[in-house]
Amino acid sequence: MAAGLLIGAALVRAPRARRTVAALIGCRGAAVGLTRVHLGVHWFSDVIGGWLFAAGSSCAPACPGG
């Protein structure tokens, strides 16, 4: 969720490096989720669910009619 908010801020505030910054933040978010699985703290399905929830929550304000 935090990564989604940071990506949104980067897209608005950093016009030149927005793709690079957004990709780096997204990769960090993915890496955190994968380390949770590797350490045995969460199941992979939990991590996928978290990613989908965060993506949906981050995109909801931009959806028409939402």
Which comes out higher in pLDDT, residue 48 or 10?
A: 48
Indicate the number of domains in the chain. Answer: 1
The confidence score (pLDDT) of residue 65 equals: 58
Whether 64 is in a domain gets the answer no
| Rounded CA separation 11/54 (Å) | 17
Whether 26 is in a domain gets the answer yes
**Percent of the residues in the chain that have a pLDDT greater than 70, as a whole number:** 91
pLDDT for 2-33, tens place per residue? 887 888 888 888 777 788 888 888 899 899 99
Whether 24 is in a domain gets the answer yes
Whether 34 is in a domain gets the answer yes
Whether 32 is in a domain gets the answer yes
Helix (H, G, I), strand (E, B) or coil at 22: helix
Whether 41 is in a domain gets the answer yes
Whether 66 is in a domain gets the answer no
The range of the structural domain enclosing residue 51 comes to 2-59
CB-based burial, 13-37: b 16+ in 10 Å, e otherwise: eeeeeeeebbeebeeebeeebeebe
**Percent of the residues in the chain that have a pLDDT greater than 90, as a whole number:** 30
